[in-house]
Copies of this chain bind each other. A is one copy, B any other.
Amino acid sequence: MAFDSIQTPAGKVDQVLGGSANFFSIAASIYAPVDIVGVVGEDFPKDHLLWLSQRKIDVSGVQVAPGKTFHWVGSYGQDLSDAKTLSTALNVFEHFDPRLSHKHSCAPYVFLANIDPELQQKVLDQVQEPRLVACDSMNFWIAGKLQELRKTLARVDIISLNEGEAYLLSEEKNILKAAQAIQKMGPSVVIVKRGAYGALLMTSQGFFIAPAYPTAHVVDPTGAGDSFAGAFMGYLAEAGAHRNLAQKDPVRWEQLLRRAVLAGCVMASFTVEDFSFRRLTQLKISDLVERQETLMRMIRVD
């Protein structure tokens, strides 16, 4: 949970709501119930937590700690690809110690957002036999806590990371070799997010390569990756996916993963159309269905 101050070619916003947990859970909640485990400062708007609960997002795992909420300041250049971080104030995140309630420890689907891999493992230590575990990471942890990150990777089914991060983590410069190398680190499913070029899924069946949904109104890419992950996991949860499907019914497993990736691409295409998660809050199911169908037509070969 975060405040973001962002400048893009389309405009500028100060202290808007953001953070992986927000983008992920708002996107995922369209498909399935979500519980957030996280931390905010005393400056965090209670109205927003209330609003999340009204969307059936359980915020009982959100600690309110003394101090300020995490604050990211960043900007994007004309091509809207990589964000430039201008400042990061960890604030209450500095002493975050995730403690899961009994309900949370029984969560069937677990997404470990991009935090310190030691904390990711602390969460995993507390969950009991989840059906599916996915994680995200970023350059900061790959460069600074590689050994801990490798331990996390050995314990997850799915990793999603962006292309530059995939190269950094794998020490490869080729997408095929990078995905294969990361797969060897543990996760049987590797998702490489490629921004405006979509996403690539690698499983034991090989590659699925999905394009981004091309939208004419790109305002701010912040949260695209997290909302991608939210729709992806939400889709799998709603379908009841279980990691043992990979062995029991590999065709169905692959089919679910591919459709979940497309759901992620579609969600991300809405996220980027406005600052913060403004566009997501106005989303109707029919909007999602329409774009998913259009995207399917854009890749179809008869």
A288 within 8 A of B: no
Interface string of A163-186 (1 = CB under 8 A from B): 000000000011111000000000
Q: How far is the CB of A196 from chain B (nearest CB, A)?
A: 7
Binding-face segment, A55-63, A94-102, A213-221, A278-286: A213-221
| B258–A177 touching, CB < 8 Å | no
A side interface size, CB within 8 A = 34
Question: Residues of A at under 8 Å CB distance from B?
Answer: 9, 78-79, 173-177, 194, 196-198, 200, 206-211, 214-216, 218, 255, 258-259, 262, 294, 296-299, 301-302
| A255–B207 touching, CB < 8 Å | no
**Contacts A255-B302, A259-B301, A301-B259: A207 and B214 contacting too (C-beta < 8 A)?**
yes
Q: Which of B177, B200, B208, B216 contacts A174 (CB 8 A)?
A: B216
| A298–B208 touching, CB < 8 Å | yes
| A301–B262 touching, CB < 8 Å | yes
Residues of B within 8 A of A200 (CB): 211
CA of A207 to CA of B211 in the docked complex: distance in angstroms? 11
Residues of B within 8 A of A198 (CB): 209
| B258–A301 touching, CB < 8 Å | yes
9 closest A-B pairs by CB: A209-B211, A197-B197, A176-B214, A176-B216, A207-B298, A299-B299, A209-B298, A258-B301, A255-B302
CA of A231 to CA of B297 in the docked complex: distance in angstroms? 23
Residues of B within 8 A of A174 (CB): 216, 218
Q: Which of B177, B194, B206 contacts A197 (CB 8 A)?
A: B194
Q: How far is the CB of A93 from chain B (nearest CB, A)?
A: 33
| B176–A215 touching, CB < 8 Å | yes
Q: Which of B79, B255, B296 contacts A173 (CB 8 A)?
A: B79
Residues of B within 8 A of A211 (CB): 200, 209, 211
- Closest Cβ neighbor of A209 among chain B residues: B211
CA of A198 to CA of B212 in the docked complex: distance in angstroms? 12
- Closest Cβ neighbor of A177 among chain B residues: B216
CA of A258 to CA of B218 in the docked complex: distance in angstroms? 27
